[in-house]
Chains A and B, each alone.
Chain A
Amino acid sequence: MGASFVPITVFTILWGVVGIVCPIFAPKGPNRGIIQVVLMLTAATCWLFWLCAYMAQMNPLIGPRLNNETLIWISRTWGNPISNHTGA
């Protein structure tokens, strides 16, 4: 499928650290519970939100419909110079 290993690992580990590792090291005191909840929920919501955006694009069903001027600009700046021979 269209998923790649690197981004999924990087972001899952990133939010995993925030949501699982950091709460363990939350400072002791009356606010420890709150800090833990805050960290865990932040990680959960942010990871879920990233995951949905990623998965929604893993297997695109439609492609962007663009202006031809925009397409020429894309060719120039994002690579793939325009070829002159026929056949896309």
Chain B
Amino acid sequence: MTSSYVDLAPSRAEKFRQRVLPFILLAALLVVIPLLGPSRSTLTLLNHMGITIVFALSYNMLLGRAGMLSFGHAVYMGLGGYFCVHVMNWIAAGTGVWGVVPIFAMPAFGFGAGALAGAVIGWPSCRRAGTPFAMISLGVAELVAAAGFMFDSLFGGEMGISADRMGGREFLGLSLGPLDDVYWFIAFWTFIGVLGTWAFTRTPLGKLSEATRDNPERVEFVGFDPQRVRYLVFIAAGAFAGMAGGMSAVQDEIFTPENLSLIPSGAILIAAYVGGVRYFAGPILGAIVMTYMGSNLSDYTAGWLLYLGLMFVGMVMFVPNGFAGIIHDTWVAIRDGRLAEVWKIWLKRSVGLILIAVSVITMVEVAFRWSDGYGEVFEPFGLHLSHQNPITWALAVIPFVVGILLVRKAAKEAKA
């Protein structure tokens, strides 16, 4: 065996395939989407997806990469966004320097504001890791959200502060008035955000943050200060969150103190985790799925938050690597030619999960119609499922039991 570390370095083809190709594909996808002629509501949804993608990626710099569980990441997106809304209003007033700043540059301002917020708030809170860090982030989020309702001139009270995205000068021929223009704006900054957060994972600091997550003691032995690494990562994460805030300020033209609260912080935690925090693409997936569910599923059922919670708890318990982990494992199994041996297990598992989903959906849908008391009845596929109907109870119990048995069997076989 004559192997030196030179042999371990990726070849040019591998480098291209792993580092350049995905971004070319992403850019191509972003360019192709408007050619398909999406409707206005689809465009709005896509724009929100772009914002959430950047936000989720910035969150994953903390949770996935550095192992820092934060319950208050929306604070940095909110502060970045608030700053941008103010800047947009200054641009609209057009005095001094602000007369020449295009609205297009808002995410850059958000980036700066987010970094500043991260630097100020991170200074005290990054001195601890683990559970204390999580608790401090929670306390800070509560403090900032409460302050948001107190200082009206900065945060606009309950009404928030709104701005007009058409106020500034045009940039690259985009007036940012019509939604198409906003799409290009969001697409551009989403690409920059994905590229930026990915580039960060390639920097020495990005690598060190992963080392700090896995073994802070050894990082210290090598001669780095874990506390300092965490602090710097925190600032970077705050900056990208602020960038997402700037994108959101242009898309929605309003920020309210609600944007700073624990609710969006929890939502982004769920999105990143469900997508898979161990993979770079995980939070992107999670952001897309969550945004889609948030805007579409809520039209179909009042219980969508419950489904979301069930999915999250299920993921935490059984699928810690999230969607990205599932996709990755599937791909690895296919690549290694193990498909022939595992497809039966997969089939059992999928059928089991579908059965469980059927019974859970039946239970939830019937339950909240029953509790509403409007006498409305859950009627999927022409079935009349009221809470007195024995079919309802059969549908709620039998698939659940069968599904669990199947999933357990699949798990046993997978282990063997």
Is B truly associated with A? no
**B residues neighboring A (CB under 8 Å):** none
